[in-house]
Amino acid sequence: MMTFELKIFLEGKRIVLVGCGREGISTYRLIRSMLPDQPLTIADQDLKLGDKFPELLSDANLSFNLGDDYLSEINGYDLIIKTPGVSFKDMKVEPAREKISSQTDLFLRMYGHQVIGITGTKGKSTTSSLIKCIADKRNDNNILVGNIGIPPFDVLDRINENTLIIYELSSHQLQYITVAPHISILLNLYEEHLDHYKSFLEYQLAKLNIAFYQKRDDHFIYNFDDENIRLLLAKYPVPGLKNPFSIKNSLSMGAFGNDTELYTSTKGFHHFMDIKDIRFLQGKHNLLNILAAILASKYSKIHNDDIRAAIYEFKGLEHRIEYVGEFHKIKYYNDSISTIPQATIAAVSTLKEVDTLILGGFDRGIDYTILIDFLAGSAIRNLIFIGQAGERICGMLGEGGRSDQHFFRAKDFDEVAKLAREHTRPGMICLLSPAAASYDMFKNFEERGKVFKEKVSH
């Protein structure tokens, strides 16, 4: 289903675009380029949408349903094209599943056979960017799209039949797909986005769609060490060729690693590379990301030497255990991407010499028990708490018997930086790894990380 077939699919349907942010306006523009006179409706909560996108106001064939009740009429349409940020969980009558689509679904119908799709609660952007770096060693006919910030409809002019498309996919983007990527990666499953889904299971099943809608000759690459994934696959079988990866088990297929080496076992066991040749992506969580990237690259017929060279050079991404610098004899690291306990635990375990840890932000009600247990046995001396999530973590630590002598509460990041300077011992690490979302004080984790870096570097 290339662009012409997409036009045929959309033509004559009563279509509503639900949500009109970056991806929604991208979908609107593509449809308008193909069907300039077809009636369309945009449903969005923003009453001032026309101020944001003036082009919408000059479209005589476009109608709007705006405001708090923007979802009230969507069941009356033939096709509902939903943007990732919109949740249907609180609707009294949810739309019929067969009516719902998305930019991701429409794109995969056209190009799924050329796509490496990457999902997981954590590690998506790092793994996607690493695969793009690897692919670029072979040639420059590769694109990186999706949850990393680039709607795929914005780059259709760059795609030909040989283009390798690396697609970072969130659970929201996967929830209503009907076609899956030819190569799919599921990195991990942790409790996340409970504000968007009715249950943790619904969230997990949205992620599993990346494999559930594959064909029998597609490749599904998954984390064998993740118990949630193993349990899910036992209950919900998937059709593709299964390729597990692990750092805890020697596998008869897929890829695995230990403390010194990485192996692939696509056709018998083979030493692939030494851990010492991984310069920048430190930590066990990154070893799992690397194993997934190796398998996806090999199934994309990229030469082993190109894969190794890219892994050696790849420096990682901003806001992901990012070294900020040494100021006032304190080493600062920015891990603002950490919005769940498991990510914080991974960051602390990777860096080891953390003296001060900054925790908290927007409280989504996730379970912090695993983090409380970890912190109770850790050598971290100072804990700085911010936001409602910080208050809850602080209270749980106190209930668990940890001394509050080195507990500090901050109202903003000016105070965070001040407390970090005053209490972190010279030569040690101060780490921002909040285990909480950012949108109580910031628009996203990137803004939170940038503010942290600015405050601690002065």
pLDDT tens-digit series, residues 51-92: 999 999 999 999 999 999 999 999 999 999 999 989 998 888
DSSP string, 160-227: -TT-EEEEE--HHHHTT-SS--SEEEE----S--TTTSSSHHHHHHHHHHHHHT--TTSEEEEETT-H
Q: Would you list the DSSP string of 108-146? A: HHHHGGGEEEEE-SSSHHHHHHHHHHHHHHH-S-EEEEE
pLDDT exceeds cutoff 70 at 113: yes
Residues 251 and 377 in one domain: no
Q: Tell me the CA distances in angstroms from 377 to 63, 346, 368, 405, one per residue in order.
A: 58, 15, 15, 16
Taking residues 226-238, what's their average pLDDT? 97
Q: Verify that 142 and 273 share a domain, yes or no.
A: yes
Q: 93 and 117 share a domain? A: no
**Single pTM value for the model:** 0.83
21-39 tens-digit pLDDT = 999 999 999 999 999 999 9
Quick one: 75 and 161 in the same domain? no
Q: Which residues pair with 407 in a beta bridge?
A: 383
pLDDT higher than 60, residue 115:
yes
Domain that holds residue 441: 322-456
281 shares a domain with 141: yes
Residues 97, 244, single domain; the answer is: no
Quick one: 145 and 278 in the same domain? yes
Which pLDDT band holds residue 401 (cuts at 50, 70, 90)?
low
330 and 369 assigned to the same domain = yes
Mean pLDDT, rounded, for 188-193: 85
- Of 101, 129, 163, which residue is a domain's last? 101
Q: How many structural domains compose the chain?
A: 3
- pLDDT-wise least confident of 106-115, 276-285, 303-312: 276-285
Indicate the average pLDDT of the chain: 94
Confidence grade of residue 326 (pLDDT, cut at 50, 70, 90): very high
CATH number of 185's domain? 3.40.1190.10
CA proximity to 23, closest of 110, 113, 101, 92: 101
Together in a domain, 263 and 286: yes
The CATH number of residue 29's host domain is 3.40.50.720
pLDDT tens-digit series, residues 117-127: 999 999 999 99
Chain mean position to CA 248 = 24
Statement to judge: residues 230 and 301 lie in one domain: yes
Q: 182-196, 225-239, 421-435: lowest mean pLDDT where? A: 182-196
pLDDT digits (tens, 9 = 90+) for 348-376: 998 989 999 999 999 999 999 999 999 98
| pLDDT band of 266, cuts 50, 70, 90 | low
Lowest-pLDDT range of 180-189, 225-234, 320-329, 447-456: 320-329
User: How sure is the predictor about 377, in pLDDT bands with cuts at 50, 70 and 90?
Assistant: confident
Main-chain phi, psi angles of 6, to 5 degrees: -65, -40
Residues 281 and 336 in one domain: no
Residue where a domain stops, chosen among 282, 313, 344: 313
Q: Which two tokens stand for residue 220?
A: 């599904």
- Across 254-258, 312-316, 358-362, least confident range: 312-316
Please tell me which residue, 3 or 441, carries the higher pLDDT value.
441
Q: Are 158 and 304 in a shared domain? A: yes
Domain stops at, among 85, 101, 117: 101
Specify the CATH number for the domain of residue 347.
3.90.190.20
Pull the structure tokens for residue 167: 């697609």
Q: What is the pLDDT of residue 198?
A: 87
